[in-house]
Structure 1
Amino acid sequence: MTGQAQEYDFFPAHVVRTRRLGPTMLRVTFGGEALRGFASGGRDQSFSLFLPHPGQDEPNLPYAQGEGWFAAWRALPADERAVMRSYTVRAQRAEPPEVDVDFALHGTGPDDRAPAGPAAAWAAAAGPGARVVLLGPAVADNRSVSFRPPADADFVLLLADETALPATGGILEHLPAGTRALAWIEVPDADDVQDLPAPDGVELHWLVRAPGAPSGLPTALRAAELPDGAPYAWIAGESGTVKELRRHLVRERGVDRRAVAFSGYWRRGASEDRLREEAYAGQS
């Protein structure tokens, strides 16, 4: 890929193993020699994951066409082209080259009200050897890392739901010793709570969302007594909730909007395919 190859590249990989982290979360470890060039920037490093449809041995992805891969991929029938989803690197190891990715398995349980999406369904059934392709960073300092607190921030504020739990874990591990930080993480089941390594000075609060209930993150933030000083806030999760949290910080708390990094990882009632098509239509 000319031009873009300096920052991103395609990395064929396969499933090495899987491990259940809780009722909702599954860790999939990917391996393969190509991952030696996958240069994760840590923190909330995001990338695109391409998955096969049921019955396919590997993702149908024409990435060999260089910069024209996206148009070629989009031109394929929807039920044939590789499923493309955005994920965050949870951990990476050099020897052997491996990348851990945590999947939220919404819709795969017997009591779930909504059906599973293609990525959750794939992950729930994935076994060793299953083939995928990652489109990710070829250099560690890349645009797909959003958590970049300024040196003069007095404290860090993290707000996330279960889809942003892997990114939050990566951020907490990245924080320098002595960093003052407050984090609220919401999960759908008490058994999804994880023991996340974090430096001293981090206050970590877990919220358990009742089935069918709205997010409790806005209520928790409004009730929180934040430290004095200028914060750097990082917010990720459901798009509507993210907007509400950002609005509260900027309008009601007076936080500089430039000090709030935010990302809607998903939107209630809309698939990632739909969101991608909306974004593509807006650029046309």
Structure 2
Amino acid sequence: MAKIPRLMPEAPRLFRARVLRSVRYSPSVQRVTVTGDDLHEFPFAGYDHWFRLFLQLPHQATFTLPEIDGTRWYPQYLAIPQDERPHLANYTVAGYRHLPDGAAEMDVDFVVHTDADGVLEGGAAIWACAARPGDQLAVLDQGRIFDCPDDVSEVVVAAEETGLPAVVGIAASLPRDTVGRIIQEVPTAADVRVLDAPLGVEVTWIVREHVDPHEVPGRAALAELERHVPCDDRVYAFVVGESRLATAGRRHLHRAGVPKSRITFSGFWKHEARQAVPA
């Protein structure tokens, strides 16, 4: 994680946006497509380009955003009165494209999950499923985390569904001569996608409903990762998703000979807490 500041923009820019459409992309994913007056200036870098997502909540009459002064914006966010404070979460660009008219569109994928009674959970997912054209939001550019060294021998990527947008972007952005392995866990077979990965990258899809539909997300991906033997100490690994997948995956890779400096890991959320981190 120490490499993240090097890849983050020194002066991150905030982009106001509005919803164009919201569709159920797959059984476990709600995709919201947005645009904005200056979204065409978003410095999309591919890979796992991520951002801070600000959402206007239904009870808020105005969309109040913090003043952005370099990287020190969070205290200003907390200073907004709680009733007026927008919802804040971290998300990855699921798609970005320039249009012939000069505008741009961005896709944001929200994992849809429910509690034991089938009630939708998660503030951002609830917002996404109810989003209508014209609803306001804002994105604060944060750059990317994926930071593969030039001397890499093998790229190893592992994630569950919360990391799927990052994996999709990484697969499409990797140099075409890359050799490696992608391990991607998803809830259902209908959530499996075609990845634009290099020919030398083996893609393993793990469908949780075929293994154990009640298992904690990420456990099956972790088991598969722990069976993977890195080829040498020039491997670069990227492991994201549920906290245990990220931390135990890193531990396995390091014990298998991969230097800690060549492992990027991030626990987006923790199962025991039943909530995203920090969303």
- TM-score in terms of structure 1 length: 0.84
Question: Counterpart of 2:13 in 1: which secondary structure?
Answer: strand
Return the alpha-carbon distance in structure 1 between the equivalents of residues 66 and 225 of structure 2. 45
**RMSD of the alignment, in Å?**
2.5
Structure 2 CA distance for partners of 1:11 and 1:78, relative to 1, 3 Å: same
- In the TM superposition, residue 84 of structure 1 has moved relative to its aligned partner by 0.4
1:198 to partner: Cα distance? 1.5
Residue 26 (structure 1) shift: 1.7
- Alignment size in residue pairs: 263
Go from structure 1 to structure 2 and tell me whether the alpha carbon gap of 1:35 and 1:226 turns closer, same or farther (over 3 Å shift): same
Q: Indicate yes or no: 2:60 matched with 1:53.
A: no
Residues 87-124 of structure 1: CA deviation (Å, up to 9, x unaligned): 0012211222111111111228x964x75111000001
User: In the alignment, which of 86, 92, 99 is matched to residue 96 of structure 2?
Assistant: 92
For residues 222 and 98 of structure 1, what CA distance do their matches in structure 2 show? 38
Distance 1:257 1:68, change over 3 A: closer
Alignment of 1:250-269 (within 5 A): 250-251=254-255, 253-268=256-271, 269=273
Shift of 1:244: 0.6
CA distance in 1, matches of 2:262, 2:70: 36
Aligned to 1:101: 108
1:159–1:183 Cα contact (<8 Å) kept = yes
SS of residue in 2 equivalent to 1:29: strand
Alpha-carbon separation, structure 2, partners of 1:190 and 1:111: 23
> SS state of the match for residue 116, structure 1?
coil
SS at match of 1:197: coil
* TM-fit CA distance, 1:76: 3.1
Q: Deviations over 1:197-254 (max 9, x none)?
A: 1221111111122333131122112223544563110011011221011101112x12
- Name the residue aligned to 1:9: 13
Question: Aligned in 2, Cα 1:62/1:222: closer, same or farther, shift over 3 Å?
Answer: closer
Provide the residue aligned with 1:159 in structure 2.
158
Is the contact made by 1:159 and 1:235 (CA closer than 8 Å) also made in structure 2? yes
Q: Deviations over 1:31-67 (max 9, x none)?
A: 0112122112210111100001123355332337888
SS of 2:141's equivalent?
strand
Summarize the Cα distance change of 1:229–1:191 in structure 2 as closer, same or farther, 3 Å threshold. same
* Matches of 1:68 and 1:178, distance apart in 2: 39
**Long gaps (5+) in structure 1:** 138-143, 277-284
- How high is the TM-score relative to the length of structure 2? 0.85
**Do residues 118 (structure 1) and 117 (structure 2) align?**
no
Query: Which residue does the alignment assign to 2:3?
Result: none
Identity %: 38
Question: 1:21 deviation in Å?
Answer: 2.0
Match of 1:130 in 2: 135
Query: Counterparts of 1:179-218 in structure 2 under 5 Å?
Result: 179-209=178-208, 210-214=212-216, 215-218=219-222
Aligned pair in 2 of structure 1 residues 225, 255: CA closer, same or farther (>3 Å)?
closer
Residue 233 (structure 1) aligned with residue 237 (structure 2): yes
Partner SS, residue 191 of structure 1:
helix
Cα distance in 2, alignment partners of residues 66 and 178 from structure 1: 37
In terms of fraction of residues, the more helix-rich structure is 1
Aligned to 1:173: 172
Amino acid at match of 1:75: A
Q: Following the alignment from structure 1 to structure 2, what is the Cα–Cα distance between the partners of residues 65 and 231?
A: 37
User: Which residue is 1:281 aligned to?
Assistant: none
SS of the residue corresponding to residue 89 of structure 1 reads strand
> Do the aligned partners of 1:10 and 1:63 also contact (CA within 8 Å) in 2?
no
- Give ranges in structure 2 of 5+ residues lacking alignment: 1-7
Instruction: Give the Cα–Cα distance (whole angstroms) in 2 for the partners of residues 250 and 6 of structure 1.
Output: 30
Q: State the Cα distance separating 1:126 from its structure 2 match.
A: 0.8
